[in-house]
Structure 1
Amino acid sequence: MGIIKRYHLVVLCIALILSLAAYGCLDSPSGIDENTNQFVSTATPGTSAEVFLNDSSFARLELEIDYMPEHEPSQQALDSLKSFLQARVYKSEVVINTPTEVESGGGGTYSADEIRSFEEEYRDNYTDSRGNTLHAYFLITDGKFQEQDNVLGIAYFNTSMAFFGETVEEAASGIGAPPKEKIEGTVFQHEFGHILGLVGNGSPTQSDHKTAGSAHCTADGCLMEPSVETTDFFANLFDGSIPDLDAQCIADLQANGGK
């Protein structure tokens, strides 16, 4: 990854962190606000990593998916995500709900604020602190990310992720391009990695492998490499196989209660 592109990615990550800071701060490893006794779903990504990884608070994990017209996720990508989660989190059950089509946001580009507004409008399921199910959310849009148009996905809350369908389609088009389901599967897992606290952003690092200025892994070939969430990875480095987590990332998850 070039120095200029890496710089832009670092700036993007810093901007996202700053823009999200006002939306929630949570210190409790249970994910429950001690003042209200309610689970907080608007904290920063990685804040609830421990809750996702272990089964002490919620034994079941359920993912809700909304997608804008013509951007329904492939079943192969969802199956690979489920396998990834089953391999890394201690939950008695991991459920990925049937994706639901929602109205277009108008296409073009979408800001982080617009993404949050779409979630408020379309999301149905939130975690009840008295229940047994931890809820997560995907939104697949029909446009690009306003802050950086080669970004394929972002984790923007502690339970929420968004993906940019137009950018995914572009990465999957053209002669020799990787199939859409492989791109989706890779980016779905990468962004969920941020929800699980990688790298050093909720799941403390057990060794020195965090990139400077962003929550990504320095190990070549790791799922949490910074370029994986952009089209650069699929244009230049992708061999058709979804990358695995490096041993250092796995060690971080295991130390924080995961597998």
Structure 2
Amino acid sequence: MKHLFAALVGVGLALAAPSAAEAKDWQTVTIATEGAYEPWNLTKPDGTLDGFEIDLGKDLCARMHLTCTFVAQSWDGMIAGLNAGKFDILMDGIAITDDRSKVVDFSKPYASTPGGFAGLKDGPLATMAGTGTQVVLTGDKTHDKPVIDAFRAALKGKRIGIQASTSFTKFVEDNFGDVAEVVEYKTAPEHDLDVTAGRVDVAFDDVTYFVSAFSKPENSDMMLVGPKIAGPIWGPGEAAAFRKSDPELRAKFDEALAAALADGTVKTLSLKWFKLDVTPVGG
């Protein structure tokens, strides 16, 4: 069996190309998600998984005529687990980046969302310039410098919470690590807890995550501070991840995703879970 083979030979051989017969034998698929990054994915009180990516994954599996099982996996072991054969697809609000593309293959993006800072409504950063607006960062230092400098001035001497090993972690550390203290957390809810407790001044994460987080009673004192950050700096968007040895599975997924984008299913699920359309431009 494919899972047993991958588990036995380890990560190195799991990345090797499968045989032609094996490549065509996709009937069941295991999809890993964090189950703790609401509304992208969440764990309900009864232990079942739900959220935008769960709904989307179920729709795509039906289109692919595959039996899919969803499992929860902590973010810090997710890519390693995929390449070790523990599961076949990752759906966890994963942004496509050059570094990640070296070790996994990505589907077409199914979302493109801005990032932003969140702090307390009565905190010193609640009136940060640009709050309620959105800026675009291109990744070009000359273009982006005035915006980054404004953030640096506002965040000087502050403590910034960030979930470890995300596409946002390097951005925060590279741009603010020399003027502020960056505190890393295993999960996003942990940085929210420290914002509300006053242990960090702000947290940085996906805006769609924060909009959902703010609806919880324990986070009712939080708000977005400063402008939301959108644009090419975040890459093409969020997508599913696959082993490089499984191009045929990725192709099946892309075909189903293209159909779901074309018929409006992705937009409908986006509006259901995020209350806004996060489908990629051109999607």
TM, length-normalised to structure 2 = 0.28
Higher relative contact order (CA 8 A, sep 6+): 2
From the two aligned structures, give the one with the greater helix fraction: 2
